[in-house]
C-alpha cells in the first residue's frame, strides 16, 4: 500500500512538473515582452533616462531581494523583471559614455539569446559541434586581420583573462618545466609593461605566482605611449638584479587616454632580448578593421600574442574577448592540457583535435563566438569598418567643438576615440596660478558626475591619473550616436557645472 502511495505522490509531482514547464514558457514569453519594451525600446530612447538612480538602501527596499522558502506568483515575478529593467543602467542608451562598451547591436544580441537558450559548453565537438567549428572560423578571421595566416587562439571570459592566458603561455614557452615542477624550477622572471597599461598585468603576475614586484614599469610620453628607450633601460635594470626578462606587454589603446604603444620598436627590443611580446589590444584592436586607422597598430603582426575585445568597439556584447597566438606548435594545448579522460577520450569516432577544451584553464566554457559571428554575417567586414570609422569621426567632431568653448580644456589630443578633458567652471576660469586651483579643480568632476547620475541624462567617467587631478574620459563608440549627441554632451556638462 505504501509503495502505491509513493507512486501516486510521484505521479502528482510529475503532473506538477508539466504544469511548471508550461507556466515557465508563458513567463518567458511575457518577460521577453517586458525586456523588449523597457530595455530595448525605452532604453534606447533619448527622451528616457540612462538610469533611475537610487541610493543602495532605497534600492534594496524597492527590489525586495530576500530569497524565501516558497516561490512567488507569475504577476510578482513579472514585476521583478520590470524592476530589474527599470533600476538598471541602460548601457544601450545613446548617452551612456561611461565605459569602453556601449550601445546595442541587435544581431549580436540575437546571438547572445541563442547562446543562452542552447546552454552548452565550448569544450568538445560532441556537445558543441556548431560552436567548435564557428569559433575556429572566427579566430582564423581575426588572426588574418592581425596579419597571421596561421596560429592559434581561444575565446576567454574578458580581456583580463586573455592577458593572463598570454602571460601563462609565455612563461611556459620560456620555462616549460614550470608546468610540472612549479616556480621552484624557474629563475626570477621579469615582466615589462607601461605605467598606463591595464591593471590586469598586476593581477596576472600575482595570480601566476610571478609577483607584482617583478613587474618593471616603463615610462610613457605625454600622449601615454610607452617610451622604447625606457623599456631598454628597464631590461638592463632587471638583468642587473638577476631577473630574466621573458614578457613585454605593449598596449594598443590604453584604458584612459586611448594611447598606442610603438609596436615596431617594441618588437625590435623584444626580439633582441629573446622576450615574448604580447599586445593588449582589448580596446584598440578593432582599428584593424579600418584601412584609415589601422596604422595605429603597425607592427602588431610581429607580436607573439594579442588580446582583443570585440565586445567593446564592435558592440558584440559582453563578454566577447579573444587571445590570439602566432604560435603553430600547439603551445596553448601543451601549456594548459590536463587530459581529462572523461571528456577528451582519444578513441572517439570523430577527429578529436576538434575537442579544443583542453586549451582552456576552464572546464565549462561559455560560447562567446556566436554573437560576433552573427553580427559579422549581418553587416560584413565593411559594416564593422564603417562602425569604427564613424566613432573616430564623431570623436574628432567632439574635440573640435570642445576647443571652441572656454569651459573645456583637453588633457591631451589623443589618436583614438577617448576624449579626456577638464571642465573649468566660471569660478575657476583664469585662476590657474592660484595655490588651491588644482584642489578645487579636482572636485569639479565628482560633483558633475553626481548631478548627471541623479538627473539620469547621461553617464561619463572621470579619474585622476599620475600628476593630473580628476578629469573626464568621454568614450565615443556607439553607432547610434550623432553630432547632436556630441553637442548635447557639451551643453549638459556646462549646465551641470555652471554654478560650481
260 Cβ neighbours under 8 A, 6+ residues apart: 225, 251, 252, 253, 254, 284, 296, 297, 415, 416
The rounded distance, in Å, linking the Cα atoms of 125 and 357 is 9
Quote the pLDDT of residue 387.
Answer: 97
CB atoms within 10 A of CB 439: 10
The SS3 assignment for 362 reads coil
Query: What one-character-per-residue DSSP string does 177-236 give?
Result: THHHHGGGGS--EEEEEETTS-THHHHHHHHTTS-GGGEEEEPB-TTS-B-HHHHHHHHH
The whole-angstrom distance between residue 93's C-alpha and the CA centroid of its chain comes to: 18
Q: Supply angle C-alpha 419, 421, 425, rounded to 5.
A: 145
The SS3 assignment for 43 reads helix
Quote the pLDDT of residue 21.
Answer: 80
The rounded distance, in Å, linking the Cα atoms of 59 and 61 is 5
Which candidate, 106, 103, 64, 110, places its Cα nearest to that of 87?
Answer: 64
The SS3 assignment for 246 reads strand
The set of cell numbers assigned to 200 is 590586469
Quote the pLDDT of residue 7.
Answer: 47
Its pTM stands at: 0.95
User: Where along the chain do its domains lie?
Assistant: 16-45+52-87, 121-366, 380-496
The set of cell numbers assigned to 272 is 633582441
Report residues of the chain scoring pLDDT below 50. Answer: 1-2, 4-5, 7
- Confirm if 265 and 236 have CB atoms less than 8 A apart: no
Longest dimension (CA), the chain: 94
pLDDT tens-digit readout, 235-281: 999 999 999 999 999 999 999 999 999 999 999 999 999 999 999 99
- Confirm if 314 and 372 have CB atoms less than 8 A apart: yes
The rounded distance, in Å, linking the Cα atoms of 88 and 94 is 15
Write down the architecture of domain 121-366 according to CATH.
3-Layer(aba) Sandwich (3.40)
pLDDT tens-digit readout, 140-169: 999 999 999 999 999 999 999 999 999 999
**Can you name the residues that pair with 276 across neighbouring β-strands?**
247
The rounded distance, in Å, linking the Cα atoms of 195 and 251 is 10
CA separation, residue 429 to residues 100, 426, 441 (Å) = 31, 5, 10
Q: Is the peptide bond before 480 cis (omega within 30 degrees of 0)?
A: no
435-440 contacts at long range (C-beta below 8 A, 24 or more positions apart): 438/469, 439/469
Fold of the domain built from segment(s) 380-496: 3.90.1150
The rounded distance, in Å, linking the Cα atoms of 372 and 307 is 15
Which candidate, 159, 114, 160, 153, places its Cα nearest to that of 135?
Answer: 153
Q: Supply angle C-alpha 114, 115, 116, rounded to 5.
A: 90
Kindly report the length of the chain.
500
Instruction: Tell me the HSE value of 34 on the side-chain side, using a 13 A CA sphere.
Output: 17
- E strand or H helix that includes residue 245: strand 244-251
Quote the pLDDT of residue 12.
Answer: 54
Quote the pLDDT of residue 22.
Answer: 84
Amino acid at each position: 500500500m505504501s509503495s502505491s502511495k509513493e507512486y501516486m505522490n510521484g505521479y502528482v509531482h510529475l503532473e506538477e512538473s508539466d504544469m511548471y514547464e508550461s507556466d515557465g514558457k508563458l513567463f518567458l514569453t511575457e518577460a521577453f515582452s517586458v525586456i523588449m519594451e523597457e530595455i530595448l525600446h525605452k532604453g534606447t530612447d533619448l527622451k528616457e533616462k540612462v538610469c533611475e538612480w537610487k541610493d543602495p538602501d532605497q534600492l534594496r527596499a524597492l527590489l525586495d531581494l530576500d530569497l524565501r522558502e516558497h516561490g512567488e506568483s507569475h504577476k510578482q515575478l513579472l514585476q521583478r523583471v520590470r524592476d530589474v529593467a527599470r533600476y538598471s543602467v541602460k548601457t544601450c542608451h545613446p548617452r551612456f559614455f561611461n565605459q569602453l562598451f556601449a550601445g546595442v547591436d541587435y544581431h549580436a544580441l540575437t546571438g547572445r539569446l541563442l547562446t543562452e537558450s542552447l546552454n552548452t559548453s565550448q569544450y568538445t565537438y560532441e556537445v558543441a559541434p556548431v560552436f567548435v567549428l564557428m569559433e575556429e572560423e572566427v579566430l582564423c578571421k581575426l588572426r588574418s586581420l592581425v596579419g597571421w595566416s596561421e596560429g592559434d587562439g581561444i575565446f576567454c571570459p574578458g580581456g583580463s583573462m586573455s592577458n593572463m592566458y598570454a602571460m601563462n603561455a609565455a612563461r611556459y614557452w620560456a620555462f616549460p618545466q614550470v608546468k610540472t615542477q612549479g616556480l621552484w624550477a624557474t629563475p626570477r622572471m621579469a615582466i615589462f609593461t607601461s605605467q598606463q597599461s591595464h591593471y590586469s598585468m598586476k593581477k596576472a603576475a600575482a595570480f601566476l605566482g610571478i609577483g607584482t614586484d617583478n613587474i618593471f614599469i616603463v615610462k610613457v610620453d605625454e600622449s601615454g605611449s610607452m617610451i622604447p628607450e625606457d623599456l631598454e633601460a628597464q631590461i638592463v635594470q632587471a638583468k642587473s638584479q638577476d631577473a630574466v626578462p621573458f614578457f613585454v606587454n605593449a598596449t594598443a589603446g590604453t584604458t584612459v587616454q586611448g594611447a598606442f604603444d610603438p609596436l615596431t620598436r617594441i618588437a625590435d627590443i623584444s626580439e633582441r632580448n629573446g622576450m615574448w611580446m604580447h599586445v593588449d589590444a582589448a580596446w584598440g584592436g578593432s582599428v584593424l578593421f579600418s584601412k584609415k586607422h589601422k596604422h595605429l597598430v603597425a607592427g602588431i603582426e610581429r607580436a607573439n600574442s594579442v588580446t582583443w575585445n570585440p565586445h567593446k568597439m564592435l558592440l558584440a556584447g559582453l563578454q566577447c574577448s579573444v587571445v590570439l597566438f602566432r604560435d603553430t606548435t600547439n603551445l596553448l594545448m601543451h601549456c594548459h592540457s590536463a587530459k581529462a579522460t572523461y571528456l577528451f577520450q582519444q578513441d572517439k569516432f570523430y577527429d578529436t583535435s576538434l575537442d579544443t577544451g583542453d586549451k582552456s584553464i576552464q572546464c565549462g566554457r561559455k560560447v562567446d563566438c556566436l554573437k560576433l559571428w552573427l553580427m559579422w554575417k549581418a553587416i560584413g567586414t565593411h559594416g564593422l569598418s564603417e562602425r569604427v570609422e564613424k566613432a573616430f569621426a564623431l570623436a574628432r567632431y567632439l574635440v573640435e567643438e570642445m576647443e571652441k568653448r572656454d569651459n573645456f580644456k583637453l588633457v591631451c589630443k589623443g589618436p583614438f576615440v577617448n576624449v579626456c578633458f577638464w571642465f573649468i567652471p566660471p569660478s575657476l576660469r583664469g585662476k590657474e596660478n592660484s595655490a588651491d586651483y588644482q584642489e578645487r579643480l579636482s572636485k569639479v568632476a565628482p560633483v558633475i558626475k553626481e548631478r548627471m547620475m541623479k538627473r539620469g541624462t547621461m553617464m561619463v567617467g572621470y579619474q585622476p591619473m599620475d600628476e593630473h587631478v580628476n578629469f573626464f574620459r568621454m568614450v565615443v563608440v556607439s553607432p547610434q550616436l550623432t553630432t547632436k549627441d556630441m553637442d548635447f554632451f557639451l551643453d549638459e556638462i556646462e549646465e551641470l557645472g555652471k554654478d560650481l
